[in-house]
Amino acid sequence: RPTIGVLALQGDVREHVAVLDLCGADPVLVRRPAELAAVDALVLPGGESTTISKLLQVFDLLEPLRKRLRDGMPAFGSCAGMILLADEVLDTRPDARHLSGIDMTVRRNAFGRQVDSFETDLEFAGVDGGPMRAVFIRAPWVERAGDGVEVLARVPGGPAAGRIVAVRQGAVLATSFHPEVTGDHRVHRLFVDLVRDR
C-alpha cells in the first residue's frame, strides 16, 4: 500500500484519511517537514486556502512542499487544496502563497452568492461508472488551464456551465468539489492508482 500523506494544518482532513484507507492506501497526517519527506504522495484537503497558506509558512512546509512537487511527487487537492496547487490565484488575499503544482489560474470563491454551495452530477473524464455527484462549497473554478493541463470535468449546466472544475497535470490532480464527502471514491481510487504507477 502506498503511504499517502494528508496535509493536516486545517480543513476536512479526516474525511480524506477515511477514503484513502478504503481505497488501499496507508494515510498519514503531515504537519512537519520530516513527515512530508516520508510520504509517497500528498492530499491537500478542503478548508480555507488563505489559512492553510499561512500555516504552511508557520510550519516551515511551504518550500519543502514546493520542492517535492517540482521533483514529481503526486498530489491531489480538493477545493482549498486546488487553490493551493495553482500557480496563480484570483480573488485571494495579497499575502496568500501558492505551490505552483499545476499550470493554471484559479478563481477563489468563484461561484456567485446564489450558488455559493450546490451539488450537481458531472462527467469526469477517465473514470467509469457514469456521472459523478459533485459537492461544491464556496468553491473555486479554473479560469485558465495551461497547455500541459488535462481538463477532467466541467460544470454541466446552470449559470456556471462549462467552467472547469477538475484538472490533472502529470501526477497532480485537483477538483473544485469534495469527492471525500459523497461516498463516491472514484477520484481517490484514480489518485491511489496513479501513485501506485509511479
Q: Are 38 and 68 in contact (CB under 8 A)?
A: no
Q: 88 CB contacts (<8 Å, ≥6 apart)?
A: 98, 104, 105, 106, 144
Give the interface segment with ligand GLN, choosing from 66-74, 79-87, 125-133, 164-172 (CB under 6 A).
Answer: 79-87
Does 109 participate in binding ligand GLN (rule CB under 6 A)? Answer: yes
Is 23 annotated in the active site? no
Does 7 participate in binding ligand GLN (rule CB under 6 A)? Answer: no
Does 137 participate in binding ligand GLN (rule CB under 6 A)? Answer: yes
Q: Binder to ligand GLN among 16, 97, 108, 189 (CB under 6 A)?
A: 108
Does 48 participate in binding ligand GLN (rule CB under 6 A)? Answer: yes
**Separation CA 173–CA 198 (nearest Å):** 14
Q: Binder to ligand GLN among 17, 19, 79, 104 (CB under 6 A)?
A: 79
The residue from 79, 88, 98, 185 that is catalytic is 79
Q: Which helix (H) or strand (E) holds 65?
A: helix 62-70
Q: Hey, what amino acid is at 68?
A: R
Question: In this complex, which beta carbon is closest to ligand GLN, that of residue 92 or of residue 169?
Answer: 92
**Separation CA 42–CA 57 (nearest Å):** 17
Q: Are 79 and 111 in contact (CB under 8 A)?
A: no
Does 53 participate in binding ligand GLN (rule CB under 6 A)? Answer: no
Give the interface segment with ligand GLN, choosing from 1-9, 13-21, 78-86, 167-175 (CB under 6 A).
Answer: 78-86
Q: Which of residues 20-39 bind ligand GLN (CB under 6 A)?
A: none
Q: Which helix (H) or strand (E) holds 45?
A: none
Q: Report in angstroms how near the CB of residue 117 gets to ligand GLN at its nearest.
A: 8
Q: Would you list the DSSP string of 152-184?
A: EEE--SSTTTT-EEEEEETTEEEESS-GGGSS-
Give the interface segment with ligand GLN, choosing from 1-9, 43-51, 153-161, 179-187 (CB under 6 A).
Answer: 43-51
With CB under 6 A, what is the number of residues at the site for ligand GLN?
11
Written as nine digits, the cell of 142 is: 479554473
The residues that touch ligand GLN, with contacts defined as CB under 6 A, are: 46-49, 79-80, 83, 108-109, 137-138
